[in-house]
Structure 1
Amino acid sequence: MTTAELYKELNYVNHSREKRLYYANLVIEHPELVPKLLDILFMVDDKTSTRAAWVLEFMCSNKLEAIIPYLDTFTSNIKKVHLDSAVRPVAKICELLAKAYASKEDNVIKHHLTEVHKEHIIETCFDYMINDEKVAPKAYSMNTLFLFGKGYDWVYPELVLILERDFHSQSAAFKARARHILKKIKKSSKEKPSKK
């Protein structure tokens, strides 16, 4: 399947779980489609890019290691994504990568996610926190920053500053997640000194 054919196929993707899952499984079964899906995702001004983002999120939720060969492409381009419907799945994928990386169990993500990848993700998540994004990407970003922040001594102070500054102007959902993350940061800071 060419990029153009995949682009056409993505027109059949909608909000239903079945459609997203169908195409995510198609991409998992045909890994050669992953770079084509990423090409479409990074057509950031095209509405079809959001459908590519939905499929990529479902693929990563089911088989995160499928993105490994494309981590350079994914992490170096995520900052360009700006359509609301595409930002949320991208933020979710960042959180999935952070959770895998921070996991107590050994996994392939730990061996392939480089410092540069993490820095791109951290930078993008801070952008989501600062920019006028919806609650979901902010919530995923808070968690991602919390998880990666354990390895960077500058992340927690910045995150705390943003959460405290924005707390009163945000929604109840934001406040609930922010409270939870602030509590975790406080607990984590007491447990051990940070590295770097």
Structure 2
Amino acid sequence: MIIQPYLRGLDLPRHPAPRADTPVPLTELHAFPDISTAAKTHHAKRFGSAAEILCDSLLMRLGIDSHPSPEFQAFDRLIYLNDRPLRLQIKVRLSAENNAFWFKVAHGNPRHASGVRGYRHDAFDLLALVILHHNVVKFSASKASQQQIALSEIPRLRDNPFKSLRSAFNALEVSETLDEAPAQLNAA
């Protein structure tokens, strides 16, 4: 706990306002995905990490190793396909609007001087769109600043997670020699 030493002449308020960084109890996360906006905001980094781990798990089950990149990079993971490095950017959404999960493909902080901005066209090669509470990942080679996963796509993505990755590889014109992945990776 941080304690401010008393300074002579400084009048402290009788009832200090609650700190903005007061932790949201972790027990609030037990109701995920039905949690407050404050909890979503407070634990945004935690959800981002969970999305990265879900991507790692899926890629590993497909025989693809992924390597974390430093936070200052414009991509989250580096994967190798036939000795070709591919930079993977991972985005997560926690709620749907208008029958879809909408992803804003941008980076930055709205409270920072540089704000939120789009990625350079060459910042990453591959995009992973993650819906955590459905355990679904959709891979894309598109650089569009706004992307979506329709609610109707979720069962297909869950049943065959390799299909969107193969489509993204084809769009990148990457010749992949991966074995055909089993259709039901999640059936265990």
* TM-score relative to the length of structure 2: 0.29
Structure with the larger helix share:
1
* TM-score relative to the length of structure 1: 0.28
